[in-house]
Amino acid sequence: MAGLAATFGSGAMTNPICDVLKSETVLVTGTNTTENHPIFANYLKEAVLKHGTKILVIDPRRIDLVDYAELYLQPRPGTDIAWINGLMHIIIKEGWAAQDYVDERCEGYEAFAKNLEKFTPEYVSDITGLSVEELYAAAKLYGQARPASILYAMGITQHACGTDNVKSLGNLAMLCGNLGVEGGGVNPLRGQNNVQGACDMGGLPNVYTGYQKVDIPEVREKFAKAWGLEADALDDKPGLVLTEMFPAAAEGKVKAMYIMGENPLVSDPDLTHIEHCVEALDFFVVQDIFLTETALMADVVLPGISFAEKDGTFVNSERVVQRIRKALTIAGEAREDREIIAELSTRMGYEMKYESAEAIMQEIAQVTPSYGGISYERIAENGLAWPCPDSDHPGTPILHVNTFSRGKGLFFAIDHQPPVEETDAEYPFILSTGRVLSHFHTGTMTRKGEGLNKVHPEIKAEINPEDAARLGVEDDDLLAITSRRGSIKVKAWLSDRPAAGVVFVPFHFHEIAVNRLTIAALDPVAKIPEYKVCAVKVEKADGAKNVVSNKKPKKSKKTKKVEKS
């Protein structure tokens, strides 16, 4: 979001999902679309098979979508800025840039173009491992297409330079005039089903709903008035982001934490340190539908409910606000999440009463300009894409049509930044983490299902056959994978999906938590961890079963109690 907002003025997906059916070329990078976004992948397959769209996949791991691709490039992990700059160098040199579009609608071009001069194909080849011929072929496939779309996900963002990676993709799209047009765009595929909605509703420490910044006096005054508070009651200082909260707990600066629908004791980097941070808290509350690894360490657990047990809205990757309706009766004494939050607020001194989820939606529309025209009545059958400022507005499927949200699109001059932790003689392999089709995120729900566990019953580490042969490893042999933070033992899966020198391990499995190995290096702007690249050593291990060599989350030493909500 930070990268797109700086470049275009809005941090959201620019085009609807179905627009890929109108693209001449779709650049897919940093997204294992068929496994992480399978419905979206179906649109891509349809685009290729029925509409003649050409897919360009550039990814360190050979994903299934490569089978449908016109061209596949496999760069070294952590070299995204270099290959993106390399493509743009070629596009400018060959005259494929949309210069009229750039001159009319963008700014910062001169410094940006000057920075690209050193990114010759030969220079980029040395950094990325891609051949000069591959770089020219990719630049031609994207640079000559009108329109062309870019799809990316956490393979681009989960780096210490993730924000700059995103800005670089924005540069590429603007250079070729692919913003504000059907079939174009820069489109982040969200990692979970309501990530966009959570951000829209102010689930960030520096904004209220609709990205209205907390440091703007007029914004604070508006919200204070809407909530019946004094004009100066709301703080003008941003709070902490997720990855800042845990270190602050270890330092005694954060005393209590309330986690809802998140399982950081599996998903966060350097888990041993995260456990230490949680133990340092004075008070810890978890609200969830299952007793997760994180909930096991809580002082109080509040039982939430699933999506099927409540009314409300979801906002998908393409900014479409959609209704969701209660389908199941709430079990036991659990309550809707909104009711728990409102009751806690009331008991803590601020009365928060809403008769229904619809009443909350009405308040959202009143205080959020981009949601001003969205109501339950209007989205009863079909959703609406924000911005939708008033009740007569049809919604905005495509952003930046005539002008960018910030006025003019801003080019950034960005240099290649190597990973924080590069390989060396002691740690010669690169570890990358991600998801598999059968399980979702930390497995809180999907690993409860018998069928999915039969399809993907255990964790395995993908290793290139060349590396396996050198190590004397065969399928299902145990590997010892060690970083500077910990070690795990996990079965090997020989595969050509990762390149030689790279191992891939999914993070869903708490009993062998690969995030004990990952590094907590953060992007300086977005504060996202560098999950996709850390240095490890890989050795053949003794034994016949998957084994984790570090402790796994266990119940807190504090007094344990579960409170009915």
- C-beta contacts of 34-41 below 8 A and 24+ residues apart: 34/63, 34/64, 34/65, 34/437, 35/63, 35/64, 35/435, 35/436, 35/437, 36/153, 36/189, 36/191, 36/434, 36/435, 37/153, 37/189, 38/437, 40/151, 40/189, 40/317, 41/65
Residue for token digits 């400018």? 92
Q: Confidence band (pLDDT; 50, 70, 90) for 543?
A: low
Q: What is the pLDDT of residues 184-228, one digit of tens each?
A: 999 999 878 888 999 999 999 999 999 999 999 999 999 999 999
| Least reliable range by pLDDT among 281-285, 384-388, 436-440 | 436-440
Q: Confidence band (pLDDT; 50, 70, 90) for 333?
A: confident
Residue for token digits 């969200």? 190
Q: What is the pLDDT of residues 135-190, one digit of tens each?
A: 999 999 999 999 999 999 988 988 899 999 999 999 999 999 999 999 999 999 98
E strand or H helix at 277, and its extent?
A: helix 271-279
Is CATH 3.40.190.10 the classification given to domain 195-385?
A: no
Measure the CA–CA gap between 281 and 283, rounded to whole angstroms: 5
What distances in angstroms separate CA 263 from CA 286, 313, 355, 385, one per listed residue?
Answer: 9, 23, 30, 30
Q: What is the pLDDT of residues 223-278, one digit of tens each?
A: 999 999 998 899 999 999 988 999 999 999 999 999 998 999 988 888 889 999 99
Measure the CA–CA gap between 136 and 384, rounded to whole angstroms: 40
Q: What angle do CA 389, 361, 308 make, to 5 degrees?
A: 130
* Main-chain dihedrals φ then ψ at residue 355, nearest 5 degrees: -70, -30
Task: Provide the mean pLDDT of the chain.
Answer: 91
pLDDT over 90 percentage in the chain: 76
Kindly list the domain boundaries of the chain, sorted by start residue.
2-189, 195-385, 429-548
Measure the CA–CA gap between 461 and 154, rounded to whole angstroms: 19
CATH number belonging to the domain at 429-548, selected among 2.40.170.20, 3.40.50.2000, 3.40.50.620, 2.40.40.20? 2.40.40.20
Q: What is the pLDDT of residues 57-70, one digit of tens each?
A: 999 999 999 999 99
Query: Is 50 exceeded by the pLDDT of residue 559?
Result: no
CATH number belonging to the domain at 2-189, selected among 3.40.228.10, 3.30.930.10, 3.90.245.10, 2.40.110.10? 3.40.228.10
Q: Closest Cα partner for 462 from 35, 62, 32, 30?
A: 62
Q: What is the pLDDT of residues 360-383, one digit of tens each?
A: 999 999 999 999 999 999 999 999
